[in-house]
Amino acid sequence: MNRWRSRLSLPRSGQPMEVADAPIKFTSMSTAEARAYQSGQADANGQLPERHMSDGDGVPCRHCQRDVAAGEPYLILAYRPFPEPQPYAEVGPIFLHGEPCERYPSTDKTPPMFMKPGRRYLLKGYRSDDRIYYGTGEIVVPEEVAAAAARILARPTPPMSMCARRSTHCFQCRIDRRLTVLRWRSTCWCSGSYSLNNN
């Protein structure tokens, strides 16, 4: 489990407080969104998702975080991992199983899908209004994703979210940090970035 210590200023006492054991959580696309696209709902561009058959090579589903196996149907669609359109709400292509699949469980461990050789991931912070939190962007190798996200989310004034994207601008997942004792939460969107010699 990823652990760190951060100092937070409490508004009433003004005294800093150390908080330990604040795990990060990797969270995939919601099942409600996945089922809507699998049922034929239009994507972020207002187009119907394209349906194809997988050859088993490099077709990662962003709901279950598994590759779509050869011979299985999959969807290509434009995805916006933000609630409303606005200048900073990026839209990018993703793959999704064509048939219902089980959502990858929220976890404090980096999903195995991220650990393929040669990949790079772009972590970007977003404020509570879903606009970019400048100065939070980092490009990291798979082994550094969890530590980098934890470090960024542990800032005295942390971003509310981060997004990780590939070089093809594909959303990977969201990363959250929760401090249950204080009933406070910050979020990080995690997008992955492949090196140029990867699919």
Q: Are residues 60 and 120 in the same domain?
A: no
Q: Are residues 183 and 114 in the same domain?
A: yes
Q: Are residues 139 and 164 in the same domain?
A: yes
Report pTM.
0.76
d(CA 68, CA 117): 18
Q: Are residues 122 and 185 in the same domain?
A: yes
| Amino acid, single-letter form, for residue 23 | P
- Is 130 within 8 Å of 84 (Cβ atoms)? yes
Residue 1 in domain: no
Note down the domain range covering 180: 6-28+106-194
Q: Are residues 38 and 22 in the same domain?
A: no
Residue 36 in domain: yes
Residue 67, phi then psi, degrees to nearest 5: -70, 140
Torsion sign (Cα): 60, 65, 68, 74: negative
Per-residue pLDDT reduced to its tens digit, 90-145: 898 999 999 999 999 998 888 998 888 888 888 888 888 888 888 888 888 889 98
Could you say which of 51, 71, 97 is where a domain stops? Answer: 97
Cα atoms in the 13 Å half-sphere on the side-chain side of 63: 24
Residue 199 in domain: no
d(CA 63, CA 96): 7
Q: Are residues 137 and 176 in the same domain?
A: yes
Per-residue pLDDT reduced to its tens digit, 144-186: 988 888 888 887 776 665 666 555 568 888 887 764 333 233 4
Q: What domain count does the chain have? A: 2
